[in-house]
């Protein structure tokens, strides 16, 4: 493995590549590549950006490398490190953007849920108030109908009408009770 800070020229491409991969199995493959391509030299240059080591650039050559070759490879490695750093930076920005978008969507859902709960609360209060007032009116109608039905000398047609009024008021009172229970259940959810 290349651990130094500057370029290293070597004649052993196989060991340079295998060492950078960190796998003994890679050595046989790297040696085969070196043999097939007939490399005579190799330069290993660390890819460094702002003191962060991003990787290694390993280039094999079919001829002996000169100092000028090394300088060109070093310049290329510098540009490659800048490009890699930008790619990494862009990837982090993309992750942060995705996280912000997700957080914004969650905020929107929470806001919509809060608005829904607020509306349901307002509907519940309004319904409760209406039910209370309607019950008061029904109590008056039912009470008067029941008092009138106690009169001993009522005509049959009047009695039938008063009984219809009393039944209708009782049905309406049960409907108001179911409505109140529904609103109460909605507030508990």
pTM (two decimals): 0.49
pLDDT given at position 146 = 92
pLDDT given at position 186 = 66
Could you tell me which of 81, 82, 91 has the C-alpha nearest to residue 45? 81
57 neighbors 44 (Cβ within 8 angstroms): yes
| Tokens representing residue 178 in the block | 């179911």
| Segments of the chain with pLDDT less than 50 | 1-4
pLDDT given at position 171 = 92
């Amino acid at each position: 493995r290349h651990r130094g800070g500057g370029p290293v020229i070597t004649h052993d491409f196989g060991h340079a590549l295998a060492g950078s991969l960190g796998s003994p199995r890679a050595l046989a493959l790297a040696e085969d590549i070196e043999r097939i391509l007939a490399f005579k030299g190799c330069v290993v240059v660390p890819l460094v950006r702002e003191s962060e080591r991003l990787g290694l650039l390993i280039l094999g050559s079919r001829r002996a490398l000169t100092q000028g070759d090394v300088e060109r490879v070093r310049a290329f490695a510098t540009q490659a490190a800048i490009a890699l750093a930008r790619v990494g930076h862009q990837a982090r920005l993309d992750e942060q953007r995705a996280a912000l978008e997700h957080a914004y969507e969650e905020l929107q859902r929470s806001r919509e849920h809060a608005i829904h709960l607020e509306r349901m609360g307002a509907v519940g209060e309004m319904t409760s108030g209406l039910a209370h007032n309607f019950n008061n009116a029904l109590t008056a109608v039912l009470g008067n109908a029941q008092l009138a039905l106690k009169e001993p000398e009522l005509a049959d047609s009047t009695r039938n009408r008063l009984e219809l009024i009393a039944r209708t008021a009782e049905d309406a009172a049960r409907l108001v009770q179911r409505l109140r229970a529904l609103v109460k259940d909605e507030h508990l959810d």
